[in-house]
Amino acid sequence: MRCAPAILLALPLLLMTLCAQAQHSTPRVSTAVEARLAALPDQLAGLPRVDGGYDKPMAGRAPTDLAAALEGLRRPPRRRGLAVLISDFLTSGNPEAPEWERPLRALTARHQLLAVEVLDPRELSLPNVGVLNLVDPETGRLLEVNTRSRRVRERYAAAAAAQREAIAATLRRVGAEHLQLRTDRDWLLDVVRHVRRSRVRAGA
């Protein structure tokens, strides 16, 4: 998933509203905040999507470079504050030592960082639906996969789980706060729960 810059601005505004609510020790989310939460999906739906999302393969174009984007966020130096990064963190290379770890560590040295990992559960396992023709949305490369093979499905599930654990481990190493939002859940409620848990940890 590749998020448009406008979305990177929308979620921090929402989080700041929720954090302000939490700091006042309100036992529940106020009606005003609930209204903003309810309206946010429509607002995000109206924002531009990068390269039309996954509707068009990015054949012949440079792939998304998370490390370069982080360097751009870090320079020029900005005042210390809360930085929110929204990504699926799925990049090429070694998942145990991704290329975005170093610039992310540099970012956390100056800012409080919330890493929002967007996860589609359909990426975690392959259904048994026969032969699939898959397209890499960034390169346009085609790959034929026989999902009838139990071994293929098991290897895919194991690799996907290991990849997600590697992402979580990297975020822990750099000192980022990690929030995972799944497409099969109400992510607005997950954001509220995350803010409440953060308030509890801060008061401990």
What average pLDDT does the segment 35-53 reach?
50
Q: CA–CA separation, 170 vs 91, rounded Å?
A: 13
Alpha helices in the chain (DSSP H): 5-23, 31-45, 66-74, 101-108, 150-174, 187-203
3-state secondary structure of 24: coil
| pLDDT: which is higher, 182 or 70 | 182
Beta bridge mates, 87: 117
Question: Which range is least confidently modeled, 55-64, 121-130, 133-142, 177-186?
Answer: 55-64
DSSP 40: H
Mean pLDDT is lowest, of 73-77, 96-100, 161-165, for: 73-77
Q: How confident is the model at residue 46 (pLDDT cuts 50, 70, 90)?
A: low
Pairwise CA distance, residues 200 & 196, whole Å: 6
DSSP state of 60: T
Q: Cα(104)–Cα(66) distance, rounded to whole angstroms?
A: 10
| pTM strictly above 0.75 | no
Tell me which amino acid residue 152 is: V
What are the beta bridge partners of residue 116? 86, 179
Q: Is 90 helix (H, G, I), strand (E, B) or coil?
A: coil
Chain Cα centroid distance, residue 88: 4
Task: Indicate the pLDDT class of residue 163, thresholds 50, 70 and 90.
Answer: very high
Task: Give me the sign of the Cα torsion angle 98, 194, 9, 174.
Answer: negative
Question: What pLDDT does 204 receive?
Answer: 58
Least confident of 21-35, 76-90, 165-179: 21-35
